[in-house]
Amino acid sequence: MDSNVRDPKMQRINNKELAQAFIDEQIKAIKEQVGDKKVLLALSGGVDSSVVAALLIKAIGKNLTCVHVNHGLLRKGESEQVIKVFKEELGANLIYVDAVDRFLDALAGVEDPETKRKIIGKIFIDVFAEEASKLEGISFLAQGTIYPDILESKGIKAHHNVGGLPPELNFELVEPVKLLFKDEVRVVGETLGLPHSMVYRQPFPGPGLGVRCPGAITRDRLELVRESDAILREEFAKAGLEGKVWQYFTVVPPFKSTGIKDNKRTFEYAVVLRAVNSVDATSATVEEIPYPLLFKIRDRILAEVNGVNRVLVDISPKPVATIEWE
């Protein structure tokens, strides 16, 4: 059977026993494929790459090198969590690359959404390839490909995330979760002991907060997106909505409006709240956030995020809107 085709008889991994059996089997398979050679992995902190990292650490330990690229468009606390979980707790060989200035300088003044995506995708590959070229003796590249990526080669990841791998990254691939569906990857991640917040996190686009800072990305607006997003996520978690609402985030459009604070006129940005439910991202309905919760989030954003004087709610379904603003 084609190694990219899932055996229809394969049981859905929906409990820890099945997940443990899968883990044991994959550890054996990885050891057989890789031997004592070295493997490289781009570790974003997303579910798929995190589960692949945890599996490889169990199978080959220090022969795995993880590269975490901070492009400046990550959510608050994300890089810190990757370092804490993988370097400190799992003892991974982790290279942290602070590429924030490189990305934000290249994106300065760029308004077109697809050009923004292309720049982010290209610099990501460049930075990763540069790190790879500094390392000696890498033979394999591990990837968090999952089954929907294979099934829908025109799917979200393939559609949005531009560019293939350059020749210097042309290693043999290690793709231990390529026949699994997302829910199965999550059960495997949990069984591997990864934190709940990492395993059950909502979908997060490759270009990160960059698509939530519509138009040309500026550092000040990006900071407002990051801080307001952290408040929204914290309040949703407190209200028990984490893992129940499919995707929720904030957007800070590139215009200001007037407000009033301490009897003085202000001219500041607005934060848009967006929360949607979906099955496969091709369509989405709007989550009805209860008003008391909305007011709590509004109060916190207006009090804690400096430079914002207005909070709005996006109630547009997909279609006619898309989930992200660009």
Asked if 110 is part of the footprint of ligand XMP (rule: CB under 6 A), the reply reads no
Residues 6+ apart with CB under 8 A from 68: 42, 43, 44, 45, 79, 82, 83, 86, 94, 95, 96, 97
121 vs 307, which CB is nearer to ligand XMP?
A: 121
Q: How far is the CB of 291 from ligand XMP (least distance, A)?
A: 26
Q: How far is the C-alpha of 128 from the C-alpha of 118, rounded, in Å?
A: 15
Asked if 212 is part of the footprint of ligand XMP (rule: CB under 6 A), the reply reads no
Cis peptide bond upstream of 100, omega within 30: no
DSSP 209-230: GGGGS-SS--HHHHHHHHHHHH
If we measure between CA atoms, which residue out of 56, 23, 10, 11 comes closest to residue 190?
Answer: 23
Task: Give the strand pairing for 264-277 and 256-261.
Answer: antiparallel
Q: Which of 122, 160, 182, 296 binds ligand XMP (CB under 6 A)?
A: 160
Q: How far is the CB of 102 from ligand XMP (least distance, A)?
A: 19
Which conformational region is residue 278 in: left (phi greater than 0), alpha (psi within -120 to 50 degrees), or beta? beta
Asked if 286 is part of the footprint of ligand XMP (rule: CB under 6 A), the reply reads no
Q: Which stretch binds ligand XMP (CB under 6 A): 53-61, 98-106, 266-274, 318-326?
A: 318-326
156 vs 315, which CB is nearer to ligand XMP?
A: 156
Asked if 11 is part of the footprint of ligand XMP (rule: CB under 6 A), the reply reads no
Asked if 285 is part of the footprint of ligand XMP (rule: CB under 6 A), the reply reads no
Q: Which stretch binds ligand XMP (CB under 6 A): 11-19, 93-101, 201-209, 303-311?
A: 201-209
Asked if 232 is part of the footprint of ligand XMP (rule: CB under 6 A), the reply reads no
Residues 6+ apart with CB under 8 A from 294: 273, 313
Query: Is the Cα dihedral 154, 183, 236, 96 positive or negative?
Result: negative
Helix (H) or strand (E) holding 255: none
Which conformational region is residue 149 in: left (phi greater than 0), alpha (psi within -120 to 50 degrees), or beta? alpha
| Triad 137, 143, 148: Cα angle to 5° | 165
Asked if 214 is part of the footprint of ligand XMP (rule: CB under 6 A), the reply reads no
Q: How far is the CB of 282 from ligand XMP (least distance, A)?
A: 8
57 vs 271, which CB is nearer to ligand XMP?
A: 271
Q: How far is the CB of 15 from ligand XMP (least distance, A)?
A: 27
Asked if 274 is part of the footprint of ligand XMP (rule: CB under 6 A), the reply reads no
Asked if 156 is part of the footprint of ligand XMP (rule: CB under 6 A), the reply reads yes
Asked if 323 is part of the footprint of ligand XMP (rule: CB under 6 A), the reply reads yes
176 vs 207, which CB is nearer to ligand XMP?
A: 207
How deeply is 318 buried, as exposed, middle or buried, from its count of CB atoms within 10 A (0-12, 13-18, 19+)? middle
58 vs 117, which CB is nearer to ligand XMP?
A: 117
Nearest-10 crossing angle of helices 16-34, 182-191: 90
Q: Which of 68, 75, 117, 300 binds ligand XMP (CB under 6 A)?
A: 117
Asked if 281 is part of the footprint of ligand XMP (rule: CB under 6 A), the reply reads yes
Asked if 322 is part of the footprint of ligand XMP (rule: CB under 6 A), the reply reads yes
Q: Which of 143, 145, 191, 247 binds ligand XMP (CB under 6 A)?
A: 247
CB 83 within 8 A of CB 58: no
Q: How far is the C-alpha of 123 from the C-alpha of 125, rounded, in Å?
A: 5
Judged by the rule CB under 6 A, the positions of this chain that interact with ligand XMP are 117, 156-157, 160-161, 203, 205-207, 211, 247, 281, 318, 322-324
